Structure 1
Amino acid sequence: MQIKKLVTGITLAGLLLLGGCSSKEAGSDKTVVKHVGVLQVVQHPSLDKAYKGFKEGLKEGGYTEGKNLKIDYQNAQNNQDNLKSMSEKLVNAKSDLILGIATPAAQSVANATQDIPVVVTAVTDLKAAKLVKSNTKPGTNVTGTTDMVSIKKQIDLLLSIVPKAKTIGIMYNAGESNSKIQADMAIAVLKKAGVKVVVKTANTTNDVQQVTETLASKVQGIFVPTDNTFDSAASVVGKVVKEKKVPLVAASIDQVKTGGLASIGIDYELLGKQTGKMAAKILAGKAKPQDLPVEKARDMKLVVNKEMAQALGINPKSIKAPQ
């Protein structure tokens, strides 16, 4: 009886010892998984590419989804109620960091938390959107990348395509602050060039076709700023301007590929990648949003839709980037 108890005791002690060793090994090998929330305002090529690039940037920064990174992706489909509820969901989930894609999503997330680090992309002017105090030193829990392009170069490009134009049209969603900023800048450039401006706005994608048809009948050229509503309906816009034979320059490269003529714009995948690298620094504790300067796109390029040019009777090779 005593021998049996002794053997049992030794066995239990051995199991406990082995259990302790196993726990220690598991603890030493345990991977810390970072939780990142993502809120995208709506689905369209530019923003989808920004999200793709964001994950690439995180990976280059040492964070890979499925290994040491978990992403909770939310798409609001351009619905304000969705933006609010999804922002709250990501905050309540105690995300380590949240990404806001496009100005409405960025503002919604920033309104939902002043504690969790927030990075944003595809936002035209972070300061004007009241996301940061300064682009050089944000001073808030928000930083990221801007998709602001040179509006003057865009207008100069359009006027070089239609040098005899007396009236240029601008269309955008007035509810998007980022679009209005660019539209106002474009109006100023056109007025300085002595060109009349006609402005039309659309509140939803359902309004885009009628707005485009109305505007295209009154102008010799059209400019569209980076705008989520018009980007989402780029194919509709393209069909109308092709039928009306009106050249359209867009600030978004992806809109040009789908339904415009030309742009001097940015690659949203590369912009997203920049944002992902910034996020990786924050997750690793190497930087804080309040001290990390807002970054601009590093590369701008001329993109010409050759098919559209031919449909409009324009030689694609004749379209050059203004100096």
Structure 2
Amino acid sequence: MKKFLSLFAVISILLLAACGSDDEASSDTSAESEVSGETYTVGATQIVEHPSLDEAYNGFQEALKDAGLEVEYDFQSAQNDQNNVQPISDGFVADDVDLIFANSTPSALGALQATSDIPIVFTSVTDAVDAELVPSMDEAGENITGVVDLHPEQIEETVAFLEDNFADANVGMVYNAGEQNSVNQVESVKTAAEGTGLSIVERTVANSSEVQQAATSLVEDADVFYIITDNTVVSALDSVVGIANDQDIPLIVGEPDSLAEGGFATFGIDYHTIGYRTGEMAADILTGEKEPNEIPPEYPPEIELFINQQAAEDQGVEWQDKWDEEAQLVGSE
């Protein structure tokens, strides 16, 4: 009888040990699954912090949240200093992040220079083909894709608006000649203005501290300001707004977020929307549903005319009744 009890005790201990081992293995597997299958690290980089880029980043994060993904973000701004761009992306590569979100043309170029292995999704890029981020708007790069922020008709529509409402005007433009994104837009504006009565007057800056002086120097030459989606100038837009208000110069801007800063009108896009779409691309890549090169880059879905009524008043713009029907009105009392 004692032999039987001893044998029973040994078997019980072995069974309990086996069960404990299975539980531990199950726990370890679950933990590994959570880390590898549900938690991702995304390196997020943008050239500078301003409302449009910030909204794109917000939209990106929202899309990943809506996709049910657990994401840890390492956000870094280059503080509008080109010297900071490359080290940020190099750091992401050293940290072996799962994906890089590049929010602006310089940020995307820095990311692509840093890696050909880690997936990159971009937005707030004006011309991804000319910047050599992708071969064409029908074909992604090997490890990079995204959504540009310039609708194909945006500049043409803006120039048409200027011609219709400010005929024969001198159009003052301030931009950073070091941003290829901006150079391309200015050239497109000049092309669109050919055959019209509009004249383009330019001033270039190297950093945001030069924006106010450049805009001031345009006062005698410009009938209207047109500020494109130049990161350097938009980050100091308040100085341009102040001059436009003081001198009664209408201020046309490149995107709706700048209306909140005091711009008068824009044919713009919603940066939250393009950021969200970029996040949807990122979700497909992170979960393994698609490779970056299987997702063609995209244009924004649509543009529309936005007018800030308060800014129109502040800048001495004579109100046109047709705008009540043609535009989305903001800033009205």
- Please report the TM-score for the alignment, with normalisation by the length of structure 1: 0.91
CA contact (8 A) 2:163 2:197 kept: no
List aligned pairs for 1:39-78, cutoff 5 A. 39-63=45-69, 68-78=70-80
Deviations 1:100-119 (A, max 9, x none): 00000010001000111100
Residue deviations 1:193-230, cap 9 Å, x none?
13222111111110000001111221111211111011
SS of equivalent to 2:116 = coil
Q: Is the 8 A contact 1:133 1:140 kept in 2?
A: no
Larger CA deviation: 297-306 vs 19-28: 19-28
What's the secondary structure of 2:136's corresponding residue? coil
> Which position in structure 2 is the counterpart of 1:280?
283
- Which string of whole-angstrom CA distances, capped at 9 and with x for unpartnered residues, describes residues 42-93 of structure 1? 1000000000000111123332xxxx22221111111222211110111111
Question: Does the CA-based 8 Å contact 2:254-2:267 persist in structure 1?
Answer: yes
SS in 2 for 1:72: strand
Q: Which residue of 2 aligns with 1:243?
A: 246
Compute the RMSD of aligned alpha carbons: 2.3
Match in the other structure for 1:158? 162
**Cross-structure match for 1:264:** 267
Name whichever of 71-80 and 108-117 sits farther off.
71-80
One-letter code of the match for 2:161?
Answer: L
Matched with 1:104 is: 106
Instruction: Report the equivalent of 1:233.
Output: 236
Contact kept? 1:225, 1:250, Cα under 8 Å: yes
Paired amino acid for 1:124 = T
* Deviation of the 1:19 alpha carbon: 3.6
* Distance of 2:131 and 2:248 partners within structure 1: 36
Q: Which position in structure 2 is the counterpart of 1:79?
A: 81
Q: Which residue of 1 aligns with 2:331?
A: none
Which residue, 188, 195, 218 being the options, matches 1:192? 195
- Identical columns (%): 33
Unaligned runs of at least 5 residues, structure 2: 328-333
Per-residue Cα deviation, 1:151-205 (whole angstroms, up to 9, x for no partner): 111111223332252x221221111111111101111222321322211111111
Task: Please say if residues 174 and 211 of structure 2, whose CA atoms lie closer than 8 Å, have aligned partners that are also in contact.
Answer: no
Task: Tell me which residue corresponds to 1:204.
Answer: 207
**What secondary structure is seen at the aligned counterpart in 2 of 1:200?**
strand
Question: Can you give the 5+ residue segments of structure 1 that lack an aligned partner in the other structure?
Answer: none
Q: TM-score, normalised by structure 2?
A: 0.88
Offset of residue 315 of structure 1: 4.7
| Counterpart among 219, 222, 226 of residue 222 in structure 2 | 219
